[in-house]
Structure 1
Amino acid sequence: MKKFKGLFLIVSIILLLAACDGGSKQASSEETFTLKYNSAFPPSIEEWHAKAKATEEFVRLVEERSNGRVKIDIFYSNQLAGQVESLDALAKGTIDLQNITPTAWGDKIPEGSFTALPYWNINEEHSLYIMRETEIGKQYEEAMENYGVKVLSYWPGSATGLMSNKPIKNVSDLKGLTMNLTSDLMADFYKQTGIGVATIPYAEQYEALLRGTLDGIQFPFYSLEDYKLAEVVDYITKPATISPALGVVAMSQKTMDKLPEDLQKIIIDTALEMENEGLAGSKKLTEEAYIYAQENDIEIINMTKVAYEEIRELHKETTWANFAKKSDGAKKMVDLLDEETEKWKKENPGMAEEFENSFGK
């Protein structure tokens, strides 16, 4: 009889522990999390912009799909941490998410400067292919992970290219122009082409172009309207030097590890969905910039294929080569780019043909 009583007691204890464990899992599944999202940018103007998809729409959907278990507070214009400091803040978990350009952290994660290399990309689809489906993107994401930061998504921010008050049709047209030097990686390119160097804050570029202190800049084409640069430049040159520029949304790995798996999946899946939805907005923003240029008497110069290949090759010998010296990962990214681009062209003949047809005669 004592044996039966002992057995009954053991079974009762096991059932009690199981019940308690089940209760704790249930309670855990109802736990809520409030995350801090620091953005280097101001609030989005249009909801169809890729940045809006990566920021406001992403936040709305995560809160909705998690049934309110994840709440995300957005802090614009680096309110919580400065552009440079935000990387360490993210790695430490002081902030949970950050929207920024990969180049902003180039000193600590040099692989991020890859996205600023002139003529590395062709269009939005090609850009995401390189960053998502090749070893090039893996090199960058591994460097981020080693710092304690996880890449959630990329967002395309429209075309960035040459804008000037003198026509730039080829490399020789650059000689004697004074242009803003935005990266030390390009110093050798400026030297070889005979470009005069200036270092002027973005906010002062309008005045510098107006007064002739600058002859040209490399800047987003949509700034012709947004920053009224159509008033002080007469030409833009295609193909764009970066088409498109990329932003990145990253998350603290410490924060990610604290979340239940179902919430991690919601965040990751939603970020990827917003990444893909951003393609159309980026293309639209670029196209609207070209229309605005034509309406405001800005001449659009289409480089010939020969001129494009010449300027790209010179950048490979200078800007790209300087980037490759930054790290083993950076060198690998440069070494693989042309091979992966040719592979993408073969798999996407329609877009490859569209790019070839964009050159001038």
Structure 2
Amino acid sequence: MRWLLVSVVVCSLVLTGCSSTVASEEEGGEETYHLVLNSSQHPPYFDWEPKYYAVEEFTQLVEERTNNQVTFDIYYSNQLAGQRESADALARGTYDMQEVNGAFWTERIPELYVVSLMFWNYGEEHTLHMMRNTEFGELYEQSLEDYGIKLMHFWPASVTGYMSSTPLASMSDMNGLIMNQTSNLAMDYHQQVGAGIATMPTVEQYEGLMRGTLDAIQFPFYSLETYRYVEVVDYISLPTLNPAISMVTINQDSWDELPEDIQEIMIETSQEVEMKAAEASKAMTERAFEFANENDVTCVAMDREDFESMRSAVKTHLWGKYASINERTERMVEVLEEETERWLEANPEFKQYFDPYLTDYSGGEEDEHNHSDDESNHYC
């Protein structure tokens, strides 16, 4: 693998024209490894948020624990490859590692869209249980491995939902709006509700909202602060699509050529930062709602009937289409439903997971959308 030669290697990064030294040999004869990581996200805003642990702390700890036998360069905001193209760039070995939401790679690896299936998860604990302890997660990892990519760790990105320039309290409110989506798999569902679709990179969403090219996005609410969407968004909608989950991956050949002791350090560090990111995800959720309230972003909550109608439409037009892609996606949906039912039986307190995000308020002439005074909702 050209990225891990025992000498000083300078390789042009095809997509950017920059170069990187990947491996060398010190005077004492010990090999050192320089890994390049590309991220589809902006840099972390706080030193305690999930993305910070997943990328910054992970790389720092690996450097420390290997006594700088492994070092990293990090490039944020799609600097080395676009969020969709990065799957091919990583698999080819254009660079070594990639932070990304798997749904961005759906056109290359369709199984990964599962993390964007609305209402698929019930919080951070359920999310990591499905990914780490079930056949569902095994199938997800296999789809990456088939493409020449190894999963390192996940990072939950706190609550995700619709952010928009107009209130969205029901599916009918989406009629005529332009929504940004990670994949065309969502097209059927949004056509059913009368919405148009755009596929704009996340790093360009701010401009799209500012110019009116986009009316709404599905994205973590913390970005109101960290991406400054508070300047271009007037409403957030509940229930949330909890939580968004991204991952850090590595080119399989690069991984295979690392010594076993370094692999063990990286795996242990991945497990550590994954748990830290899960806890930070919860903290980011609380901060996101506080920030929205303090900055006059109106919180809109669906009533229970509208929520159940939306969930039914999502299962029919989104889950169904995903399951029909291939045998693996069909099995992933089967396992997701089976394991989730089993997990909820063992964790009954999560059966009402979406309840705090809903209101039984049925609307009225004076206040059709804003349910912030309804005490049944804990967030608006």
More helix as a share of residues:
1
Q: How many residues align?
A: 329
How has the CA–CA distance of structure 1 residues 184 and 89 changed in structure 2, closer, same or farther, with 3 Å as cutoff? closer
Query: 2:316 — aligned with what?
Result: 317
Distance 2:148 2:284 in 1: 33
* Residue pair 2:45, 2:226 contacting (<8 A) in 1 also: no
Q: Scaled by the length of structure 2, what TM-score is found?
A: 0.79
Unaligned runs of 5+ in 1: 1-26
Q: Deviations over 1:36-93 (max 9, x none)?
A: 2222233322111111111111011111112222222223333334434432333343
- Identity fraction in percent: 43
Query: 1:207 — aligned with what?
Result: 210
Query: 1:345 — aligned with what?
Result: 344
Is the partner of 1:155 in helix, strand or coil? strand
Unaligned runs of 5+ in 2: 1-27, 361-380
Distance 1:218 1:85 in 2: 21
Task: Quote the offset at 1:196 in angstroms.
Answer: 4.6
The higher-RCO structure (CA 8 Å, 6+ apart) is 1
How has the CA–CA distance of structure 1 residues 317 and 355 changed in structure 2, closer, same or farther, with 3 Å as cutoff? closer
Equivalent runs, 1:6-21 vs 2, <5 Å: none
User: Is 1:222 aligned to residue 225 of structure 2?
Assistant: no
Distance 1:216 1:38 in 2: 27
Task: Quote the offset at 1:138 in angstroms.
Answer: 1.2
* Residue pair 1:238, 1:302 contacting (<8 A) in 2 also: yes
Q: Deviations over 1:158-197 (max 9, x none)?
A: 22212234433333333x3413242322222222223355
Distance 2:129 2:67 in 1: 32
Q: Deviations over 1:2-50 (max 9, x none)?
A: xxxxxxxxxxxxxxxxxxxxxxxxx88x432222222223332211111
Q: Deviations over 1:257-316 (max 9, x none)?
A: 112211111011101111110012212222211112222333323333433222111011
How has the CA–CA distance of structure 1 residues 91 and 197 changed in structure 2, closer, same or farther, with 3 Å as cutoff? closer
Query: 2:299 — aligned with what?
Result: 300
Query: 2:286 — aligned with what?
Result: 287
Is the partner of 1:32 in helix, strand or coil? strand
How has the CA–CA distance of structure 1 residues 98 and 228 changed in structure 2, closer, same or farther, with 3 Å as cutoff? closer
Query: 1:170 — aligned with what?
Result: 170
Distance 2:278 2:177 in 1: 34
How has the CA–CA distance of structure 1 residues 32 and 217 changed in structure 2, closer, same or farther, with 3 Å as cutoff? closer
User: Is 1:75 aligned to residue 78 of structure 2?
Assistant: no
* Residue pair 2:209, 2:233 contacting (<8 A) in 1 also: no
Distance 2:246 2:104 in 1: 10
Task: Quote the offset at 1:102 in angstroms.
Answer: 0.6
User: Is 1:57 aligned to residue 57 of structure 2?
Assistant: yes
What's the RMSD between the two structures over aligned residues? Answer: 2.4
Distance 2:306 2:286 in 1: 23
Query: 1:360 — aligned with what?
Result: 359
Q: Which amino acid letter does the alignment assign opposite residue 173 of structure 1?
A: D
How has the CA–CA distance of structure 1 residues 216 and 257 changed in structure 2, closer, same or farther, with 3 Å as cutoff? closer
How has the CA–CA distance of structure 1 residues 79 and 234 changed in structure 2, closer, same or farther, with 3 Å as cutoff? closer
How has the CA–CA distance of structure 1 residues 222 and 153 changed in structure 2, closer, same or farther, with 3 Å as cutoff? same
Query: 1:16 — aligned with what?
Result: none
Query: 1:24 — aligned with what?
Result: none
Equivalent runs, 1:1-361 vs 2, <5 Å: 30-174=30-174, 176-182=175-181, 183-197=183-197, 202-209=205-212, 215-241=215-241, 243-361=242-360
* Residue pair 2:148, 2:252 contacting (<8 A) in 1 also: yes
* Residue pair 1:155, 1:275 contacting (<8 A) in 2 also: yes
Instruction: Indicate the structure (1 or 2) with the bigger Cα radius of gyration.
Output: 1
Task: Quote the offset at 1:149 in angstroms.
Answer: 1.1
Q: Which amino acid letter does the alignment assign opposite residue 135 of structure 1?
A: E
Distance 2:339 2:301 in 1: 25
Task: Quote the offset at 1:341 in angstroms.
Answer: 1.6
Q: Scaled by the length of structure 1, what TM-score is found?
A: 0.82
Distance 1:269 1:198 in 2: 39
